[in-house]
Protein backbone atom coordinates (compact mmCIF):
# COMPACT_ATOMS: atom_id res chain seq x y z
CA UNK A 1 0.00 0.00 0.00
CA UNK A 2 3.00 2.26 -0.62
CA UNK A 3 0.95 4.35 -3.04
CA UNK A 4 -1.05 5.74 -0.11
CA UNK A 5 2.12 7.18 1.43
CA UNK A 6 2.69 9.39 -1.59
CA UNK A 7 3.32 13.10 -0.94
CA UNK A 8 0.56 14.80 -2.99
CA UNK A 9 2.24 18.19 -2.79
CA UNK A 10 4.55 16.93 -5.56
CA UNK A 11 1.55 16.99 -7.89
CA UNK A 12 0.13 20.29 -6.65
CA UNK A 13 2.29 22.48 -8.90
CA UNK A 14 1.44 24.75 -11.83
CA UNK A 15 3.82 22.74 -14.02
CA UNK A 16 1.90 19.51 -13.45
CA UNK A 17 -1.45 21.31 -13.82
CA UNK A 18 -0.49 22.78 -17.21
CA UNK A 19 1.03 19.46 -18.25
CA UNK A 20 -2.32 17.75 -17.66
CA UNK A 21 -4.45 20.46 -19.29
CA UNK A 22 -2.23 20.98 -22.34
CA UNK A 23 -1.60 17.27 -22.78
CA UNK A 24 -5.35 16.58 -22.64
CA UNK A 25 -6.30 19.31 -25.13
CA UNK A 26 -3.53 18.31 -27.51
CA UNK A 27 -4.41 14.62 -27.18
CA UNK A 28 -8.09 15.33 -27.96
CA UNK A 29 -7.17 17.19 -31.13
CA UNK A 30 -4.61 14.64 -32.29
CA UNK A 31 -6.95 11.75 -31.61
CA UNK A 32 -9.85 13.45 -33.39
CA UNK A 33 -7.85 14.06 -36.57
CA UNK A 34 -8.09 10.82 -38.55
CA UNK A 35 -4.80 9.15 -39.23
CA UNK A 36 -2.64 10.73 -36.56
CA UNK A 37 -3.22 9.03 -33.21
CA UNK A 38 -1.56 9.09 -29.82
CA UNK A 39 1.82 7.77 -30.98
CA UNK A 40 2.33 10.63 -33.42
CA UNK A 41 1.06 13.12 -30.85
CA UNK A 42 3.42 11.88 -28.15
CA UNK A 43 6.38 11.83 -30.55
CA UNK A 44 5.70 15.41 -31.66
CA UNK A 45 5.46 16.62 -28.07
CA UNK A 46 8.58 14.79 -26.88
CA UNK A 47 11.01 17.67 -27.56
CA UNK A 48 8.77 20.00 -25.52
CA UNK A 49 9.34 17.81 -22.46
CA UNK A 50 13.14 18.24 -22.43
CA UNK A 51 12.91 21.34 -20.27
CA UNK A 52 10.25 19.97 -17.94
CA UNK A 53 10.66 18.03 -14.73
CA UNK A 54 10.49 14.24 -15.21
CA UNK A 55 7.17 13.97 -13.36
CA UNK A 56 5.44 16.70 -15.36
CA UNK A 57 6.92 15.41 -18.62
CA UNK A 58 5.70 11.84 -18.19
CA UNK A 59 2.30 12.99 -16.93
CA UNK A 60 1.89 15.25 -19.96
CA UNK A 61 2.69 12.42 -22.37
CA UNK A 62 0.37 10.06 -20.48
CA UNK A 63 -2.37 12.74 -20.77
CA UNK A 64 -1.84 12.88 -24.53
CA UNK A 65 -2.08 9.08 -24.71
CA UNK A 66 -5.24 8.97 -22.59
CA UNK A 67 -6.98 11.88 -24.32
CA UNK A 68 -5.88 10.65 -27.74
CA UNK A 69 -7.67 7.34 -27.21
CA UNK A 70 -10.89 9.19 -26.36
CA UNK A 71 -10.25 11.74 -29.13
CA UNK A 72 -10.36 8.95 -31.70
CA UNK A 73 -13.97 8.32 -30.79
CA UNK A 74 -14.93 11.93 -31.55
CA UNK A 75 -14.10 11.41 -35.21
CA UNK A 76 -15.66 7.92 -35.13
CA UNK A 77 -18.96 9.26 -33.82
CA UNK A 78 -19.19 12.61 -35.59
CA UNK A 79 -17.69 11.74 -38.97
CA UNK A 80 -17.94 7.94 -39.05
CA UNK A 81 -14.15 7.85 -39.48
CA UNK A 82 -12.08 6.21 -36.74
CA UNK A 83 -9.58 8.77 -35.49
CA UNK A 84 -7.41 5.98 -34.14
CA UNK A 85 -7.41 2.24 -34.94
CA UNK A 86 -8.74 1.49 -31.45
CA UNK A 87 -11.78 3.67 -32.13
CA UNK A 88 -12.92 1.47 -35.03
CA UNK A 89 -15.33 -0.49 -32.83
CA UNK A 90 -16.90 2.80 -31.69
CA UNK A 91 -17.89 3.61 -35.30
CA UNK A 92 -20.27 0.65 -35.42
CA UNK A 93 -22.73 2.16 -32.96
CA UNK A 94 -21.43 5.68 -32.43
CA UNK A 95 -21.90 6.81 -36.02
CA UNK A 96 -25.46 5.41 -36.37
CA UNK A 97 -26.47 7.09 -33.10
CA UNK A 98 -25.02 10.39 -34.30
CA UNK A 99 -26.86 10.07 -37.62
CA UNK A 100 -30.09 9.52 -35.70
CA UNK A 101 -29.61 13.12 -34.55
CA UNK A 102 -28.02 12.27 -31.18
CA UNK A 103 -24.28 12.96 -31.49
CA UNK A 104 -24.14 14.57 -28.06
CA UNK A 105 -25.54 11.47 -26.43
CA UNK A 106 -23.12 9.23 -28.33
CA UNK A 107 -20.22 11.44 -27.23
CA UNK A 108 -21.64 11.42 -23.71
CA UNK A 109 -21.56 7.61 -23.57
CA UNK A 110 -18.08 7.75 -25.04
CA UNK A 111 -16.54 10.28 -22.69
CA UNK A 112 -18.12 8.72 -19.62
CA UNK A 113 -16.73 5.35 -20.68
CA UNK A 114 -13.34 6.84 -21.39
CA UNK A 115 -13.20 8.50 -17.97
CA UNK A 116 -14.35 5.36 -16.14
CA UNK A 117 -12.01 3.14 -18.15
CA UNK A 118 -9.12 5.53 -17.61
CA UNK A 119 -9.84 5.72 -13.88
CA UNK A 120 -10.06 1.95 -13.49
CA UNK A 121 -6.87 1.58 -15.52
CA UNK A 122 -5.20 4.05 -13.16
CA UNK A 123 -6.49 2.28 -10.04
CA UNK A 124 -5.15 -1.03 -11.38
CA UNK A 125 -1.86 0.70 -12.09
CA UNK A 126 -1.70 2.00 -8.53
CA UNK A 127 -2.71 -1.16 -6.74
CA UNK A 128 -1.78 -4.14 -8.88
CA UNK A 129 1.12 -3.13 -11.09
CA UNK A 130 3.64 -5.49 -9.51
CA UNK A 131 1.54 -8.71 -9.43
CA UNK A 132 0.17 -7.97 -12.89
CA UNK A 133 3.64 -7.52 -14.30
CA UNK A 134 4.40 -11.05 -13.10
CA UNK A 135 1.35 -12.22 -15.06
CA UNK A 136 2.45 -10.26 -18.13
CA UNK A 137 5.81 -12.02 -18.29
CA UNK A 138 4.12 -15.41 -17.87
CA UNK A 139 2.41 -14.87 -21.21
CA UNK A 140 4.68 -15.96 -24.02
CA UNK A 141 4.36 -16.62 -27.75
CA UNK A 142 1.90 -19.54 -27.48
CA UNK A 143 -0.47 -17.36 -25.45
CA UNK A 144 -0.11 -14.41 -27.83
CA UNK A 145 -0.90 -16.66 -30.77
CA UNK A 146 -4.05 -17.93 -29.09
CA UNK A 147 -5.10 -14.44 -27.99
CA UNK A 148 -4.79 -13.36 -31.61
CA UNK A 149 -7.00 -16.27 -32.69
CA UNK A 150 -9.46 -15.29 -29.95
CA UNK A 151 -9.55 -11.77 -31.38
CA UNK A 152 -10.29 -13.09 -34.87
CA UNK A 153 -13.04 -15.40 -33.57
CA UNK A 154 -14.57 -12.44 -31.71
CA UNK A 155 -14.69 -10.17 -34.71
CA UNK A 156 -15.74 -12.86 -37.22
CA UNK A 157 -18.65 -13.71 -34.97
CA UNK A 158 -19.73 -10.06 -34.73
CA UNK A 159 -21.06 -10.02 -38.25
CA UNK A 160 -23.94 -12.43 -37.93
CA UNK A 161 -25.51 -11.31 -41.24
CA UNK A 162 -23.35 -13.54 -43.46
CA UNK A 163 -20.82 -15.72 -41.69
CA UNK A 164 -18.93 -16.99 -44.78
CA UNK A 165 -18.39 -13.39 -45.92
CA UNK A 166 -17.27 -12.45 -42.43
CA UNK A 167 -14.67 -15.22 -42.51
CA UNK A 168 -13.60 -14.13 -46.00
CA UNK A 169 -13.13 -10.62 -44.60
CA UNK A 170 -10.90 -11.98 -41.83
CA UNK A 171 -8.80 -13.90 -44.34
CA UNK A 172 -8.52 -10.83 -46.59
CA UNK A 173 -7.26 -8.82 -43.64
CA UNK A 174 -4.72 -11.51 -42.75
CA UNK A 175 -3.42 -11.54 -46.31
CA UNK A 176 -3.13 -7.77 -46.52
CA UNK A 177 -1.11 -7.91 -43.29
CA UNK A 178 1.42 -10.22 -44.92
CA UNK A 179 2.45 -7.70 -47.57
CA UNK A 180 5.97 -6.42 -46.98
CA UNK A 181 9.19 -7.81 -45.56
CA UNK A 182 8.94 -11.01 -43.53
CA UNK A 183 10.16 -10.13 -40.02
CA UNK A 184 11.94 -13.43 -39.41
CA UNK A 185 13.77 -13.87 -42.71
CA UNK A 186 13.68 -10.47 -44.41
CA UNK A 187 12.09 -12.02 -47.51
CA UNK A 188 9.93 -9.63 -49.52
CA UNK A 189 6.37 -10.96 -49.69
CA UNK A 190 3.75 -9.79 -52.20
CA UNK A 191 5.62 -6.58 -52.96
CA UNK A 192 5.85 -7.40 -56.71
CA UNK A 193 8.97 -5.30 -57.01
CA UNK A 194 7.48 -2.18 -55.42
CA UNK A 195 9.74 -0.39 -52.91
CA UNK A 196 6.74 1.38 -51.45
CA UNK A 197 5.25 -1.97 -50.40
CA UNK A 198 8.42 -3.19 -48.65
CA UNK A 199 7.19 -1.49 -45.51
CA UNK A 200 3.83 -3.15 -45.84
CA UNK A 201 0.45 -1.56 -46.38
CA UNK A 202 -0.10 1.39 -44.07
CA UNK A 203 -2.74 0.65 -41.44
CA UNK A 204 -3.80 4.29 -41.44
CA UNK A 205 -4.34 4.18 -45.23
CA UNK A 206 -6.43 1.03 -44.86
CA UNK A 207 -8.47 2.46 -41.99
CA UNK A 208 -9.09 5.83 -43.62
CA UNK A 209 -9.84 4.26 -46.98
CA UNK A 210 -12.34 1.84 -45.50
CA UNK A 211 -14.15 4.22 -43.24
CA UNK A 212 -13.58 7.77 -44.47
CA UNK A 213 -13.43 7.45 -48.25
CA UNK A 214 -16.15 4.80 -48.35
CA UNK A 215 -18.28 6.85 -45.93
CA UNK A 216 -18.04 9.91 -48.20
CA UNK A 217 -19.32 7.78 -51.09
CA UNK A 218 -22.25 6.74 -48.88
CA UNK A 219 -22.96 10.38 -48.02
CA UNK A 220 -23.03 11.18 -51.74
CA UNK A 221 -25.89 8.72 -52.04
CA UNK A 222 -28.07 10.87 -49.80
CA UNK A 223 -29.83 14.14 -50.41
CA UNK A 224 -27.08 16.76 -50.44
CA UNK A 225 -29.14 18.99 -48.13
CA UNK A 226 -29.30 16.29 -45.42
CA UNK A 227 -28.31 17.55 -41.99
CA UNK A 228 -27.71 14.81 -39.45
CA UNK A 229 -28.40 17.12 -36.53
CA UNK A 230 -31.19 19.65 -36.73
CA UNK A 231 -31.63 20.38 -33.04
CA UNK A 232 -28.68 22.19 -31.45
CA UNK A 233 -29.61 20.79 -28.02
CA UNK A 234 -28.60 17.33 -29.29
CA UNK A 235 -24.93 18.32 -29.60
CA UNK A 236 -24.41 18.67 -25.84
CA UNK A 237 -22.08 15.93 -24.62
CA UNK A 238 -24.04 14.32 -21.83
CA UNK A 239 -26.07 11.32 -20.73
CA UNK A 240 -28.70 11.20 -18.03
CA UNK A 241 -28.33 9.27 -14.78
CA UNK A 242 -30.86 6.69 -16.06
CA UNK A 243 -28.85 6.23 -19.25
CA UNK A 244 -25.68 5.83 -17.20
CA UNK A 245 -27.33 3.15 -15.04
CA UNK A 246 -28.25 1.28 -18.22
CA UNK A 247 -24.60 0.86 -19.22
CA UNK A 248 -22.73 0.89 -15.91
CA UNK A 249 -22.13 -2.87 -15.89
CA UNK A 250 -20.75 -2.66 -19.41
CA UNK A 251 -18.42 0.15 -18.36
CA UNK A 252 -17.05 -1.89 -15.48
CA UNK A 253 -16.66 -5.18 -17.34
CA UNK A 254 -15.11 -3.51 -20.39
CA UNK A 255 -12.67 -1.53 -18.27
CA UNK A 256 -11.42 -4.73 -16.66
CA UNK A 257 -11.11 -6.40 -20.08
CA UNK A 258 -9.25 -3.38 -21.45
CA UNK A 259 -6.87 -3.13 -18.50
CA UNK A 260 -6.02 -6.83 -18.72
CA UNK A 261 -5.44 -6.77 -22.49
CA UNK A 262 -3.44 -3.54 -22.19
CA UNK A 263 -1.02 -5.21 -19.80
CA UNK A 264 0.01 -7.74 -22.44
CA UNK A 265 2.78 -6.25 -24.57
CA UNK A 266 1.94 -6.11 -28.27
CA UNK A 267 -1.84 -6.23 -28.08
CA UNK A 268 -2.99 -2.81 -26.88
CA UNK A 269 -6.14 -0.74 -27.16
CA UNK A 270 -7.25 -1.99 -30.61
CA UNK A 271 -7.88 -5.65 -29.72
CA UNK A 272 -9.02 -4.57 -26.22
CA UNK A 273 -11.88 -2.53 -27.68
CA UNK A 274 -12.98 -5.43 -29.90
CA UNK A 275 -12.88 -7.99 -27.08
CA UNK A 276 -15.00 -5.67 -24.98
CA UNK A 277 -17.45 -4.97 -27.83
CA UNK A 278 -17.86 -8.70 -28.53
CA UNK A 279 -18.47 -9.48 -24.87
CA UNK A 280 -20.98 -6.63 -24.56
CA UNK A 281 -22.88 -7.92 -27.59
CA UNK A 282 -22.79 -11.51 -26.35
CA UNK A 283 -24.07 -10.55 -22.91
CA UNK A 284 -26.71 -8.13 -24.20
CA UNK A 285 -30.44 -8.91 -24.08
CA UNK A 286 -30.76 -7.17 -27.47
CA UNK A 287 -27.72 -8.20 -29.54
CA UNK A 288 -29.65 -7.45 -32.76
CA UNK A 289 -29.52 -3.74 -31.83
CA UNK A 290 -25.74 -3.65 -32.03
CA UNK A 291 -24.58 -1.80 -35.10
CA UNK A 292 -27.68 0.42 -35.05
CA UNK A 293 -26.79 2.90 -32.29
CA UNK A 294 -26.85 0.64 -29.23
CA UNK A 295 -25.43 2.48 -26.15
CA UNK A 296 -23.53 -0.59 -24.93
CA UNK A 297 -21.85 -0.69 -28.35
CA UNK A 298 -20.26 2.70 -27.57
CA UNK A 299 -19.72 2.18 -23.85
CA UNK A 300 -17.79 -1.08 -24.20
CA UNK A 301 -15.01 -0.13 -26.65
CA UNK A 302 -14.50 3.30 -25.13
CA UNK A 303 -14.12 2.02 -21.58
CA UNK A 304 -11.81 -0.74 -22.79
CA UNK A 305 -9.50 1.35 -24.92
CA UNK A 306 -8.91 3.91 -22.20
CA UNK A 307 -8.42 1.24 -19.55
CA UNK A 308 -5.88 -0.35 -21.88
CA UNK A 309 -3.78 2.84 -21.60
CA UNK A 310 -3.40 2.27 -17.87
CA UNK A 311 -2.73 -1.39 -18.52
CA UNK A 312 -0.02 -0.55 -21.06
CA UNK A 313 1.82 1.53 -18.46
CA UNK A 314 2.16 -1.53 -16.19
CA UNK A 315 4.83 -3.42 -18.19
CA UNK A 316 6.44 -0.09 -19.13
CA UNK A 317 7.05 1.07 -15.58
CA UNK A 318 7.55 -2.26 -13.83
CA UNK A 319 9.54 -4.13 -16.47
CA UNK A 320 10.76 -1.42 -18.84
CA UNK A 321 8.90 -3.19 -21.68
CA UNK A 322 6.84 -0.87 -23.90
CA UNK A 323 3.54 -2.60 -24.67
CA UNK A 324 2.62 -0.40 -27.63
CA UNK A 325 4.21 2.13 -30.00
CA UNK A 326 2.91 4.98 -27.82
CA UNK A 327 4.50 3.54 -24.68
CA UNK A 328 7.72 3.02 -26.63
CA UNK A 329 7.88 6.78 -27.16
CA UNK A 330 7.05 7.37 -23.48
CA UNK A 331 9.96 5.04 -22.65
CA UNK A 332 12.09 7.44 -24.67
CA UNK A 333 10.93 10.25 -22.40
CA UNK A 334 11.95 8.25 -19.33
CA UNK A 335 15.41 7.67 -20.76
CA UNK A 336 15.83 11.32 -21.81
CA UNK A 337 15.28 12.31 -18.18
CA UNK A 338 17.78 9.73 -16.96
CA UNK A 339 15.19 7.32 -15.53
CA UNK A 340 15.36 3.61 -16.25
CA UNK A 341 11.97 1.99 -15.74
CA UNK A 342 12.02 -1.55 -14.42
CA UNK A 343 11.68 -3.55 -11.22
CA UNK A 344 14.00 -1.28 -9.22
CA UNK A 345 12.14 1.93 -9.92
CA UNK A 346 9.73 1.31 -7.04
CA UNK A 347 12.66 1.19 -4.60
CA UNK A 348 14.87 3.85 -6.16
CA UNK A 349 12.28 6.45 -7.14
CA UNK A 350 8.96 5.67 -5.44
CA UNK A 351 7.87 9.34 -5.43
CA UNK A 352 8.31 9.59 -9.18
CA UNK A 353 6.57 6.36 -10.09
CA UNK A 354 3.61 6.87 -7.73
CA UNK A 355 3.45 10.50 -8.82
CA UNK A 356 3.04 9.28 -12.40
CA UNK A 357 0.36 6.79 -11.36
CA UNK A 358 -1.64 9.34 -9.33
CA UNK A 359 -1.16 11.95 -12.03
CA UNK A 360 -2.53 9.45 -14.53
CA UNK A 361 -5.67 9.07 -12.41
CA UNK A 362 -6.13 12.85 -12.39
CA UNK A 363 -5.75 12.96 -16.18
CA UNK A 364 -8.85 10.73 -16.47
CA UNK A 365 -10.88 13.32 -14.54
CA UNK A 366 -9.34 16.20 -16.50
CA UNK A 367 -10.16 14.44 -19.75
CA UNK A 368 -13.80 14.10 -18.66
CA UNK A 369 -14.26 17.75 -17.76
CA UNK A 370 -12.25 19.22 -20.63
CA UNK A 371 -13.68 16.75 -23.12
CA UNK A 372 -17.28 17.35 -22.02
CA UNK A 373 -17.09 21.03 -22.89
CA UNK A 374 -14.87 20.90 -25.96
CA UNK A 375 -16.25 17.93 -27.85
CA UNK A 376 -19.65 19.51 -28.41
CA UNK A 377 -17.76 21.85 -30.75
CA UNK A 378 -16.86 18.84 -32.88
CA UNK A 379 -20.41 17.49 -32.91
CA UNK A 380 -21.63 20.84 -34.28
CA UNK A 381 -20.06 19.75 -37.55
CA UNK A 382 -23.09 17.52 -38.04
CA UNK A 383 -25.30 20.61 -38.30
CA UNK A 384 -23.59 21.23 -41.65
CA UNK A 385 -25.42 19.90 -44.70
CA UNK A 386 -23.99 16.81 -46.42
CA UNK A 387 -22.72 18.81 -49.42
CA UNK A 388 -20.38 20.72 -47.09
CA UNK A 389 -19.50 17.85 -44.76
CA UNK A 390 -18.45 15.30 -47.41
CA UNK A 391 -15.57 17.27 -48.97
CA UNK A 392 -14.38 18.33 -45.50
CA UNK A 393 -14.33 14.74 -44.25
CA UNK A 394 -12.59 13.56 -47.41
CA UNK A 395 -9.94 16.29 -47.37
CA UNK A 396 -9.08 15.97 -43.66
CA UNK A 397 -8.96 12.18 -43.99
CA UNK A 398 -6.59 12.35 -46.98
CA UNK A 399 -4.36 14.80 -45.13
CA UNK A 400 -4.37 12.47 -42.12
CA UNK A 401 -3.21 9.57 -44.29
CA UNK A 402 -0.44 11.68 -45.82
CA UNK A 403 0.64 13.08 -42.45
CA UNK A 404 1.05 9.63 -40.88
CA UNK A 405 4.07 8.65 -43.02
CA UNK A 406 4.57 11.69 -45.32
CA UNK A 407 4.04 9.31 -48.21
CA UNK A 408 1.66 9.89 -51.12
CA UNK A 409 1.64 6.17 -51.96
CA UNK A 410 -0.42 5.70 -48.80
CA UNK A 411 -2.98 8.14 -50.19
CA UNK A 412 -3.29 6.08 -53.37
CA UNK A 413 -3.82 2.99 -51.21
CA UNK A 414 -6.53 4.81 -49.26
CA UNK A 415 -8.37 5.77 -52.47
CA UNK A 416 -8.21 2.22 -53.88
CA UNK A 417 -9.27 0.70 -50.56
CA UNK A 418 -12.09 3.23 -50.27
CA UNK A 419 -13.56 2.27 -53.63
CA UNK A 420 -13.25 -1.45 -52.85
CA UNK A 421 -14.66 -1.02 -49.33
CA UNK A 422 -17.71 0.88 -50.63
CA UNK A 423 -18.71 -2.12 -52.74
CA UNK A 424 -17.69 -4.70 -50.12
CA UNK A 425 -19.93 -3.03 -47.54
CA UNK A 426 -22.89 -3.06 -49.95
CA UNK A 427 -22.38 -6.81 -50.31
CA UNK A 428 -22.32 -7.41 -46.51
CA UNK A 429 -18.63 -8.10 -46.09
CA UNK A 430 -17.31 -7.12 -42.67
CA UNK A 431 -14.91 -4.15 -42.78
CA UNK A 432 -14.09 -4.32 -39.03
CA UNK A 433 -13.04 -7.97 -39.55
CA UNK A 434 -10.59 -6.89 -42.25
CA UNK A 435 -9.05 -4.22 -40.03
CA UNK A 436 -8.69 -6.36 -36.93
CA UNK A 437 -7.29 -9.30 -38.89
CA UNK A 438 -4.81 -6.88 -40.49
CA UNK A 439 -3.68 -5.75 -37.02
CA UNK A 440 -3.60 -9.20 -35.43
CA UNK A 441 -2.22 -11.12 -38.43
CA UNK A 442 1.45 -10.21 -37.91
CA UNK A 443 1.17 -10.92 -34.16
CA UNK A 444 -0.44 -14.31 -34.84
CA UNK A 445 2.09 -15.32 -37.49
CA UNK A 446 5.18 -14.22 -35.55
CA UNK A 447 4.07 -15.80 -32.30
CA UNK A 448 3.14 -19.07 -34.04
CA UNK A 449 6.50 -19.23 -35.79
CA UNK A 450 8.42 -18.45 -32.60
CA UNK A 451 6.38 -20.97 -30.62
CA UNK A 452 7.12 -23.72 -33.12
CA UNK A 453 10.77 -22.71 -33.19
CA UNK A 454 10.96 -23.03 -29.40
CA UNK A 455 9.20 -26.40 -29.41
CA UNK A 456 11.16 -27.77 -32.36
CA UNK A 457 8.08 -27.88 -34.57
CA UNK A 458 5.81 -29.65 -32.06
CA UNK A 459 2.33 -28.26 -31.37
CA UNK A 460 2.45 -29.75 -27.85
CA UNK A 461 3.64 -26.35 -26.67
CA UNK A 462 0.04 -25.12 -26.88
CA UNK A 463 -1.30 -28.02 -24.81
CA UNK A 464 1.25 -28.11 -22.04
CA UNK A 465 0.93 -24.52 -20.83
CA UNK A 466 -1.86 -23.62 -18.39
CA UNK A 467 -2.56 -20.17 -19.80
CA UNK A 468 -2.71 -21.58 -23.35
CA UNK A 469 -5.23 -24.21 -22.28
CA UNK A 470 -7.30 -21.52 -20.55
CA UNK A 471 -7.37 -19.35 -23.67
CA UNK A 472 -8.26 -22.34 -25.86
CA UNK A 473 -11.11 -23.05 -23.48
CA UNK A 474 -12.33 -19.46 -23.86
CA UNK A 475 -12.13 -19.74 -27.66
CA UNK A 476 -14.11 -23.00 -27.60
CA UNK A 477 -16.72 -21.55 -25.26
CA UNK A 478 -17.08 -18.43 -27.40
CA UNK A 479 -17.60 -20.48 -30.56
CA UNK A 480 -20.25 -22.59 -28.82
CA UNK A 481 -22.03 -19.48 -27.50
CA UNK A 482 -21.96 -17.86 -30.95
CA UNK A 483 -23.38 -20.99 -32.58
CA UNK A 484 -26.13 -21.22 -29.95
CA UNK A 485 -26.97 -17.53 -30.38
CA UNK A 486 -27.13 -17.94 -34.18
CA UNK A 487 -29.41 -21.00 -33.83
CA UNK A 488 -31.62 -19.10 -31.40
CA UNK A 489 -31.91 -16.16 -33.81
CA UNK A 490 -32.74 -18.50 -36.71
CA UNK A 491 -35.36 -20.21 -34.54
CA UNK A 492 -36.91 -16.83 -33.67
CA UNK A 493 -36.99 -15.82 -37.36
CA UNK A 494 -38.71 -19.08 -38.36
CA UNK A 495 -41.17 -18.70 -35.48
CA UNK A 496 -42.13 -15.19 -36.55
CA UNK A 497 -42.74 -16.24 -40.17
CA UNK A 498 -44.93 -19.26 -39.21
Which window, 17-25, 311-319, 353-361, 400-408, contacts another protein (CB under 8 A)? 400-408
Strands 188-189 and 180-181: antiparallel
Counting contacts by CB under 8 A, is residue 123 touching another protein?
A: no
Between 153 and 386, whose beta carbon lies closer to another protein?
386
String marking each residue 141-170 x if it binds another protein according to CB under 8 A: ---------------------x-xx-xx--
Map the footprint of another protein across residues 221-260, applying CB under 8 A.
221-222, 224-225
Least separation in angstroms between residue 303's CB and another protein is 29
Map the footprint of another protein across residues 445-484, applying CB under 8 A.
445, 448-449, 452-453, 456-457
Between 334 and 402, whose beta carbon lies closer to another protein?
402
Least separation in angstroms between residue 380's CB and another protein is 15
Least separation in angstroms between residue 128's CB and another protein is 36
- Positive/negative CA dihedral, 68, 73, 74, 79: positive
Map the footprint of another protein across residues 280-299, applying CB under 8 A.
none
Burial (CB < 10 A; 0-12, 13-18, 19+), residue 374, is middle
In this structure, how many other beta carbons lie within 10 angstroms of the beta carbon of residue 498?
5
Residue of 10, 21, 383, 419 that binds another protein (CB under 8 A): 419
* Cβ contact 374:25 at 8 Å: yes
- E strand or H helix at 114: helix 103-138
CA 433 to chain CA mean position, Å: 14
d(CA 173, CA 311): 27
Buried b (16+ CB within 10 A) or exposed e, 409-430: bbbebbbebbebbbebbeeebb
Map the footprint of another protein across residues 170-209, applying CB under 8 A.
171-172, 174-175, 178, 182, 184-185, 187, 189-190
Buried b (16+ CB within 10 A) or exposed e, 97-135: bbbebbbbbbbbbbbbbbbbbbbbbbbbbbeebeebbee
Least separation in angstroms between residue 36's CB and another protein is 7
Residues of the shown chain interacting with another protein in the complex, contacts defined by CB under 8 A: 29, 33, 36, 40, 44, 162, 164-165, 167-168, 171-172, 174-175, 178, 182, 184-185, 187, 189-190, 216-217, 220-222, 224-225, 386-388, 390-392, 394-396, 398-399, 402-403, 406, 408, 411-412, 415, 419, 422-424, 426-427, 429, 445, 448-449, 452-453, 456-457
Amino acid sequence: MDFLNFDFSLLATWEVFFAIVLGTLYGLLIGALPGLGSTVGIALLLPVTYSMSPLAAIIMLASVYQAGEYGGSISSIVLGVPGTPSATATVLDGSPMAKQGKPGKALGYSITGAAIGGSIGAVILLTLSIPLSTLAISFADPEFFLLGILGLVCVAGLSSKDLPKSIISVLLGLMLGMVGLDVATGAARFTYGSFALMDGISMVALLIGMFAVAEVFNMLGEDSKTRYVTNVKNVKTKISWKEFKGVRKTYLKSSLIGAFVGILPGLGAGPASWFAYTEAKRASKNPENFGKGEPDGIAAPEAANNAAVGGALVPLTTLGIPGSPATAVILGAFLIHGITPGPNIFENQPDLVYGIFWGFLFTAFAMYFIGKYTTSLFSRMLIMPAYMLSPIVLFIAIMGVYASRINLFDVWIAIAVGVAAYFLKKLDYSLPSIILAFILGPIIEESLRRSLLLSGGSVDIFFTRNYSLMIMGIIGLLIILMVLQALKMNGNKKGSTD
